[in-house]
Amino acid sequence: MGNFDVHAEMLGAYESRLLNQPEWLESVLSRKGVLESLGSIFSLGIGPGGFESKLLAMYPGSRLSYVERNLTVLKELDRNLRRYRVEERIQNGFIDSFEHIADPDRYDLVLSLDSWYHIGKNEELLAKALKMRRAGGKLLIELMTKQSLYWSLDRTRGLPSAEEISVWATDKGFEHEYFEEGLTTEYSTLIDKDGPKDPFKRFVAFATGSHWDEMTHASRERAVDSLIAANEDGIVRTTYGFLLFEG
């Protein structure tokens, strides 16, 4: 199993509050005006799609298209769509990589939530994502920042942070607004006196591309040490960076 497959598999199974929460994201994006006039949405690497499913429920006239190449997370997406009773609102679903799809439609909002790691500093694909907006539409890219626990874990893949992508995009002439928002997780939900809990183990797998059970003892210890260092009076903070491109 390759690193991408582990990353996507763990994202599909991930259940702690360290990753996107529909209520938190909805609050952040509403304050920024991202969800105004929302009729059509394209999700780039939709994953489990909890947030996108909630958006469909919030905006009865909206439609959703997506691209996702991992079948494991698509099973979780199906469950979320059924949970919110919005299965019929799917317009197009591409089981492929973003670079391979050719979609003539245009959207009010193009979303990339924790998926741009695998695209990185690719000028052609950023331009492609921007072209998928309708007039006045928006592209939103969300990634974790270097201040997050994610980046202190033992990993070797060299995935880009939100800050890195923002600086690169600015240097390439892609104008956007960059802002950061924080999310907190109770330390006790990740580790207790018996050791790391499953949500943290999944988070480590998400960050490192390696299953917890397949990691060396030293790597597990380093991961736990990183979590202990991130503990602030019983709270672990995760900071996200958002790149907002407005048409």
The Cα 71–Cα 145 span in angstroms is 27
Q: Is 53 helix (H, G, I), strand (E, B) or coil?
A: helix
Q: What pLDDT shows up at residue 78? A: 92
- Look at residue 87 and tell me whether its pLDDT is greater than 90: yes
Name the token pair of 2: 């390759």
List, in order, residues 6 or more apart from 79 with CB less than 8 Å away: none
In whole numbers, what is the pLDDT of the chain averaged over residues?
Answer: 86
Pairwise pLDDT comparison (153 vs 68), residue with the higher score: 68
The pTM of this model reads 0.86
Task: Report the CATH architecture of 3-246.
Answer: 3-Layer(aba) Sandwich (3.40)
**Element (DSSP H or E) covering residue 222:** helix 217-230
Does position 8 have pLDDT exceeding 80, yes or no?
no
pLDDT in tens, 10-67: 444 444 344 457 788 899 999 999 998 899 999 999 988 989 999 999 999 999 999 9
pLDDT at 121: 95
pLDDT of residue 15: 41
What Rg do the C-alpha atoms of the chain give, in angstroms? Answer: 18
Token couple for 241: 């960076």
Q: What is the DSSP letter of 217?
A: H
pLDDT of residue 17: 40
Of 29-43, 117-131, 150-164, 230-244, which range is least confident?
A: 150-164
Confidence check: pLDDT of 170 > 50: yes
For the ranges 11-25, 149-163, 190-204, which has the lowest average pLDDT? 11-25
